[in-house]
């Protein structure tokens, strides 16, 4: 297996199976649109705009009409200058987990080979990420700062997320990924002390 690509930009895919197919190939923050749910999810929209400005976005959607509608919506939302477009080829077939192929009979991102996914990202101009300086934020830090696992932690975490302009429904893993992509340990520690 090839070495994982360390990608600076945030990679946005349609669903969790796409993210699962991509995760072993890249060392990057991968977020999902949950399909067309992105149209109504104002918090995730705000997060993607913020991440676009700070890190840049790589859109990697399916090659069917639905994928292109989502791609167009997000490019307009985030701003074309912050978005790189990664395209997978239109290959007929169906994913192993599905009983029938999709509406257009094309493989989605999850069904595309690792080599083609890597090529799509590199062809889109994915930037190799430089290692971040300083200490990473860990689960134990969220606990010590009172954002997880303690009385009142949910309210404190929601207040932090609101202050940072992040969606309050981020899982702990997604929260850690986003915090580590956008902020330093010291920045979040200072915010924790202020709250």
pTM given for the model: 0.78
Residues contacting 189, CB < 8 A, separation 6+: 141, 145
Residues 72-92 have pLDDT tens digits of 999 999 999 999 999 998 888
User: How far apart (Å, rounded) are the C-alpha atoms in residues 66 and 194?
Assistant: 44
Q: State the 10-residue block means of pLDDT for the chain, 195 residues long.
A: 83 94 91 94 90 92 94 97 94 82 85 93 85 81 90 88 79 82 85 78
Residues 1-11 have pLDDT tens digits of 578 888 989 99
- Within a 13 Å sphere around the CA of 148, how many CA atoms are in the beta-carbon half? 14
**Three-state secondary structure call for residue 60:** strand
Q: Label each residue of the chain as H, E or C.
A: CCCCEEECCEEEECCHHHHHHHCCCEECCEEECCHHHHHCCHHHHHHHHHHHHHCCEEEEECCCHHHHHHHHHHHHHHCHHHEEEEECCCCECCCCCCCCCCCCCECCHHHCCHHHHHHHHHHCCCCECCCCCCCCCCHHHHHHCCCCCCCCHHHHHHHHHHHHCCCCCCCHHHHHHHHHHHCCHHHHHHHHHHC
Which pLDDT value is given to residue 1?
A: 54
């Amino acid at each position: 297996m090839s070495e994982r690509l360390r990608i600076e930009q945030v990679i946005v895919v349609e669903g969790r199976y796409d993210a699962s197919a991509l995760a072993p190939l890249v060392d990057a923050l991968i977020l999902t649109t949950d399909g067309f749910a992105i149209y109504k999810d104002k918090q995730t929209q705000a997060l993607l705009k913020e991440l676009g400005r700070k890190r840049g976005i790589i859109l990697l959607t399916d090659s069917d009409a639905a994928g292109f509608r989502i791609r167009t919506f997000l490019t307009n939302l985030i701003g074309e200058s912050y978005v790189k477009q990664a395209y997978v080829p239109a290959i007929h077939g169906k994913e192993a987990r599905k009983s029938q192929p999709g509406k257009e009979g094309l493989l989605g991102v999850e069904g595309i080979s690792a080599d083609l996914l890597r090529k799509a990202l590199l062809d889109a101009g994915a930037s190799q990420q430089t290692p971040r300086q300083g200490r990473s934020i860990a689960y134990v830090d969220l606990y010590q700062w009172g954002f997880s696992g303690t009385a009142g932690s949910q309210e404190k975490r929601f207040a932090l997320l609101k202050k940072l302009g992040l969606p309050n429904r981020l899982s702990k893993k997604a929260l850690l990924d986003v915090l580590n992509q956008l902020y330093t340990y010291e920045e979040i520690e200072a915010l924790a002390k202020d709250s």
